[in-house]
Copies of this chain bind each other. A is one copy, B any other.
């Protein structure tokens, strides 16, 4: 049961789910991720990315070019989290959408 705590700890963070979701099956640049998430600051994003990297679920590749270029992708370990995301999305689709029929603020 404490296995859940381990997983929860990795995913605990406001943007972790979205980052992983966005990296699903693709490699993304730092600016792409930031642009996708939109609302968060660079400091927060970098922090979340570092944590995910430290937990071994995403990989960070730096290209030594003049305009800095850094790409992020899921590791093997990170891909194992996709089923979790899929289950969460399925649940949200079943129960979440109907609640925002005429209400779509924010």
List the interface of chain A (C-beta within 8 A of B): 1-8, 11, 17-18, 21, 56, 77, 80-81, 83-85, 87-97, 99
Please report the C-alpha to C-alpha distance between residue A99 and residue B2 in the assembled complex, in whole angstroms: 13
Q: Across the two chains, which residue of chain B brings its CB closest to A80?
A: B91
Query: B92 touching A2 by the CB < 8 A rule?
Result: yes
Query: B83 touching A2 by the CB < 8 A rule?
Result: no
Please report the C-alpha to C-alpha distance between residue A56 and residue B94 in the assembled complex, in whole angstroms: 13
Also in contact, A88 and B21, with CB within 8 A (given A3-B93, A95-B77):
no
Residues of B within 8 A of A6 (CB): 91-92, 95-96, 99
Query: B95 touching A91 by the CB < 8 A rule?
Result: no
